[in-house]
Amino acid sequence: MLFIFCAFVSGRSFCQARLTIAAGAKSTVFLQDSASTPNEESTPTFMPDGKTVYLANNGAICLSRKAGDRWTKPIPISFTGQYKDWDPTLTPDGKGILFVSNRPYIAADGSTKTGAHLWMSQQAGGRWSEPKHLDSPVNEFGFVNYGPSISAKGTICFCSRDRDGDKGMHAYLCRWAGDHYEKPQLLILNGNDPTFDPYIAPDERYILFSSDNALYISYRTERGWSPGEKLGPQVNAASAKGMLWGPSISRDGKMLYFNGGTVDGIEMIPVNWK
């Protein structure tokens, strides 16, 4: 039987498949054979062919390539190393990489500032370009941004603390308007509880996020986003011993990646859509 999530609004329905995890599924460590020691790898993001992965490791963005059934040892990419860079996420076409960095930027008043802000680099001639600071209204002086993700339409999701009069850490959605980003919209995904690391699907069908130490999923509806649903104990049992964070889904939709709990490094667990 096919189980479909349906929201009925004004006599019309909006239906889509839901994420499920098999009852006996167990997570394993990604890149276990080639991980660094100690294993501080996090937030993997894959090129479209699934054979190259970028990830964060101790303040640097690294890449690893698949060789047969193994992955090569991650190495830093060209622009990383001088400053702290983390939380990388590739655009769905693999031509851009969005990430968090504390590197300095030039503010609107001409002064040099630093802070945990979002930066973007583009593929150019087989290499990554010099990263560009995303200006207002995405990045604003005095506010930090973490855990970004980006859809095929260019919509960015991220989390930010005490922004625009809001209190605490919450998720935001910022739409691309063709030549600029619109003002970020506060996302209410789990009531008033703090929300971290919102991962928006390439087609914007759902958002995975962290809240109350656990991982949740919210589905897009005609009126916005459904209340977050906690993922099963196959994933969230570990949240009793530590925060789970940095969720993402593989290119083929068959694997969930995340960090946290009591395990060092990146965990992965098979998922289905029904």
Per the domain annotation, does 12 fall within a domain? no
**Mean pLDDT across 107-121:** 94
- pLDDT > 70 in the chain, percent: 93
Q: What pLDDT is attached to residue 14?
A: 56
CB contact at 8 A, 264 and 39:
yes
User: What is the band of 83 on the pLDDT scale with cuts at 50, 70, 90?
Assistant: very high
What CATH number does the domain containing 200 carry?
2.120.10.30
Residue 84 domain boundaries: 38-269
User: What is the band of 258 on the pLDDT scale with cuts at 50, 70, 90?
Assistant: very high
Per the domain annotation, does 46 fall within a domain? yes
d(CA 255, CA 265): 16
**Mean pLDDT across 123-140:** 94
Look at residue 273 and tell me whether its pLDDT is greater than 60. Answer: yes
Look at residue 1 and tell me whether its pLDDT is greater than 80. Answer: no
Look at residue 156 and tell me whether its pLDDT is greater than 70. Answer: yes
Identify the bridge partners of residue 229 per DSSP, sorted by sequence position: 217
- pLDDT > 90 in the chain, percent: 84
User: What is the band of 69 on the pLDDT scale with cuts at 50, 70, 90?
Assistant: confident
Residue at 83: amino acid letter: Y
Per the domain annotation, does 10 fall within a domain? no
Range with the poorest average pLDDT among 8-12, 119-123, 194-198: 8-12
Per the domain annotation, does 22 fall within a domain? no
Q: How many domains does the chain have?
A: 1
Per the domain annotation, does 67 fall within a domain? yes
Per the domain annotation, does 242 fall within a domain? yes
**Mean pLDDT across 36-41:** 76
Q: What pLDDT is attached to residue 109?
A: 87
Query: Which of these, 146, 134, 128, 155, lies nearest to 52 by C-alpha position?
Result: 128
Per the domain annotation, does 171 fall within a domain? yes
Q: Phi and psi dihedrals of 74, rounded to 5?
A: -60, 140
Per the domain annotation, does 28 fall within a domain? no
Burial of 194 (0-12, 13-18, 19+ CB in 10 A): middle
Look at residue 7 and tell me whether its pLDDT is greater than 90. Answer: no
Q: Examine residue 92 and say whether the peptide bond preceding it is cis (omega within 30 degrees of 0).
A: no
